[in-house]
Structure 1
């Protein structure tokens, strides 16, 4: 059923000579399917079809787009065991994780279907004419959000379903009215092809134009570079490393017509263990964070890679308990040999820095491609003087910083690069006593958590998954939840336009029945 071919419009094509295979990291062997990297001609055809499809798809009703999104969800569910087994064979992740991520993917698709079915997301705004106004008559002006055009989505290595072929970026772009070309991630190309097949079937069943979706294989960077540079592509979605996201951002900025790149990149997700919380709950927090650091082998963008406290007996107890607990957890498989290779390299580089002390590292032999979790400690002064300690170690690792004073803690927070999340562990008067520190943290993150863990991103409208650079390339937008649709649209105004020629969202009688802002008042009434 998996062919290794590229899905381009309604066709499956494999005309190139460059091939590759995925790897089963648990068995440390290649999976059998041969995948064919997309050629320049195939890339050109995919983009050309997407450009043509946009002329029709952009004007499809919310109901029609919703039927497409719901059909994709149905087709993914119909893949059943084949999808789950392929996912596990390409990632080393367990069946429970596969089912959970599939559920999240289905939920995202259906939530966007609900959004566009209702229709108010277009933010229709109407200011009616006032010809009697002096000295200058007021014109009738109406505004709404409209789709950008063909979008390129890069599959993520650590989420083969929820952030890849039919993940949040793709679902949001379809909801907005943008055709999507996915650059499939080479680590899970088989999973990607199965989902591409589901999208293809859904597109045909619901009457979508050919080219509304294509899925292109690539084991290197060439296909992605060509897609981003193509003049018909109007936006890019990416989840991955700072290096990869920044390279795409630079490419897009250097085009004759620059385009937005919405990249979610690196984050070490600082956690502040404040004094009263450390004194009263050091052991509890340590046990909780041992689990959070090792969850999913630390392969989450919200993994708590940095824990900051005030030196003293309470912090010492936290470090001791965390170190004892984390090595009691059985190591688990990482996604790919190259990922565990980078984990070990980055971990060793960090702990080799002067002043860093390793307090725990899993001491026993592990199965192939299974990560050895570790905890290290450093003084606040050393951290401030060693910028390389901010490097993300993607995997089950965390660095604890022992600060001398509250002022030093604030200085460390202010020195951090932008992050996806920040967490406050506080009791009693901690939040009041450390108000300035917390305010500094708010300025460096996109989401702040109180007495919890950063791992786990709820998909809901109020979730902000993004943050100041380099957590993301544009901190004004989220990569999770229905508001992520705003990445793929632009505001557009009509002035003095005949009512019968306006889009339904802006017509006087409000045929869609949506909520609109009319002369500064929100209403569903007709004019």
Structure 2
């Protein structure tokens, strides 16, 4: 049963008078449950409870924390079709996507559980004492990583499960030993409450301290702002727009004690397609990329929003084919009326710029929250002269740039803002000539793909989901995979300590 209440640790509360409802985007109507915004007192209570819980939870063994994470996964599975139905009701996404995302959420939780069964993830190091060393004796030094403290996670609109209430940020922070306060995303607060109650049951059943997790509602920015400003919050996780992530980053930087904000934000994910690849595989590439551009209605942070080509006799045929294949794919529902409105505004901003040609778009009328896909094209010269063409369009949209030669192509890559991904499509006999393109792309992206599509993010230790700003606020860290746990810890060295007083990881 969905209550619409806030969960301050194990206690549901609803003392506020501001409410909102989620939307069924397919029917374009509000759902039934009214969710109550968290009040200032409830926010303060949740953070103070998390701070008290931190004093206990940071010392809970990795084995016990792993038991907790596995129990969360088990409880999410117990929700079964109830969770899937709520997910679809609030997102407009199909059942297959809901089931797949639930599977990824479960996998993430279990991956972190396995990671923390021993202490190797802390990157411990030991330098033994050498009292006989000349001219000065060497002291005993041991280094480990310890959790930062209470973490605030703001749920993502486009991943109601995998990047939200028990998603990657939450599971990695809990694995690290940090209590978490989630500000549930207002587009899928019902899904969030179901998952929050499953998580809280797992916490209670495994003996975790009350306050290790709280779930707060809030439609406007006030709740998130108050959480980030609270002096007992020590880090923030966010997935969303550049505007939202930058606002949080600035807010956290202005605190008396600045704290890290790990925000995964905007990206247009450039794809370089060589002339030979187009010549040999034009139709197959057009089909592959039409499917990638429209996958999930284009609502992925890794959507290929920018295709870079070199203009020749085959290029325009490829662009025309890509456009036709893209717009013949049936229009799909977007997450929310606000997402649809943003898509229409931003696609118009790009397509109306000087030199941009609309190659094809869905012209027929679509349902209220469905997205008419669009492919547009521009010359390399016009792209280089207009930074507005780097606007991210969140939805089924892609801009194809026609460079006059490889020199201009590399200039285009070097002019790009930071990106999550970059892709190269090329033939084997071109490999020896690709080094400059690879070097240019690597300097602008966090993950580089060869002969594939950027959509799809593998959850593993080698994944880098983050890149130079504005793709993320700190390109040294990933938001996906087991290495994402490193965002929530800091290093500490112990010098000349008696074994009895060392943390378990260093004994």
Same fold flag (TM > 0.5): yes
- Contact 1:277–1:430 under 8 Å retained in 2: no
Question: Is 1:258 equivalent to 2:258 in the alignment?
Answer: yes
Distance in 2 of aligned mates of 1:189 and 1:169: 17
- 1:139 aligned residue: 139
Bigger drift between 129-138 and 260-269 goes to 129-138
Q: Give the deviation of 1:134 after TM superposition.
A: 1.4
Let me know the Cα RMSD of the aligned residues: 0.7
Distance in 1 of aligned mates of 2:136 and 2:69: 47
User: 1:319-370 deviations in whole A, cap 9, x for unaligned?
Assistant: 0110111121001000000000000011011111110000010122212211
> Secondary structure of the equivalent of 1:163?
helix
Aligned positions of 1:240-251 closer than 5 A: 240-251=240-251
Question: Is 1:451 equivalent to 2:451 in the alignment?
Answer: yes
User: 1:234-289 deviations in whole A, cap 9, x for unaligned?
Assistant: 00000000000000000001111000000000000000011111111111111100
Distance in 2 of aligned mates of 1:344 and 1:464: 30
Bigger drift between 119-128 and 41-50 goes to 119-128
Distance in 2 of aligned mates of 1:96 and 1:41: 40
- 1:491 aligned residue: 491
Distance in 2 of aligned mates of 1:327 and 1:174: 43
Distance in 2 of aligned mates of 1:106 and 1:283: 37
- Contact 2:275–2:312 under 8 Å retained in 1: no
Distance in 2 of aligned mates of 1:194 and 1:346: 33
User: 1:481-525 deviations in whole A, cap 9, x for unaligned?
Assistant: 110000000011111111122122211xxxxxxxxxxxxxxxxxx
Distance in 1 of aligned mates of 2:506 and 2:341: 55
Bigger drift between 321-330 and 85-94 goes to 321-330
- Contact 2:172–2:482 under 8 Å retained in 1: yes
Question: Is 1:347 equivalent to 2:347 in the alignment?
Answer: yes
- 2:27 aligned residue: 27
> Secondary structure of the equivalent of 2:364?
coil
> Secondary structure of the equivalent of 2:457?
coil
Distance in 2 of aligned mates of 1:123 and 1:443: 27
- 1:123 aligned residue: 123
Unpaired runs of 5+ residues, structure 2, are: none
Question: Is 1:464 equivalent to 2:460 in the alignment?
Answer: no
> Secondary structure of the equivalent of 1:2?
coil
> Secondary structure of the equivalent of 2:76?
helix
Distance in 1 of aligned mates of 2:55 and 2:186: 31
> Secondary structure of the equivalent of 2:152?
strand
User: 1:428-464 deviations in whole A, cap 9, x for unaligned?
Assistant: 3333223212210110000000000000001111010
- 2:394 aligned residue: 394
Distance in 2 of aligned mates of 1:501 and 1:245: 40
**Number of residue pairs matched by the alignment:** 507
Q: Give the deviation of 1:135 after TM superposition.
A: 1.4
- 1:5 aligned residue: 5
> Secondary structure of the equivalent of 1:478?
coil
Distance in 2 of aligned mates of 1:52 and 1:301: 36
- Contact 1:142–1:494 under 8 Å retained in 2: yes
Aligned positions of 1:203-282 closer than 5 A: 203-282=203-282
Bigger drift between 102-111 and 316-325 goes to 316-325
Distance in 1 of aligned mates of 2:363 and 2:288: 21
- 1:376 aligned residue: 376
- Contact 1:178–1:488 under 8 Å retained in 2: yes
- 2:441 aligned residue: 441
> Secondary structure of the equivalent of 1:42?
helix
Unpaired runs of 5+ residues, structure 1, are: 508-527
Question: Is 1:94 equivalent to 2:94 in the alignment?
Answer: yes
- 2:357 aligned residue: 357
User: 1:203-257 deviations in whole A, cap 9, x for unaligned?
Assistant: 1000010100000000000010010011100000000000000000000011110
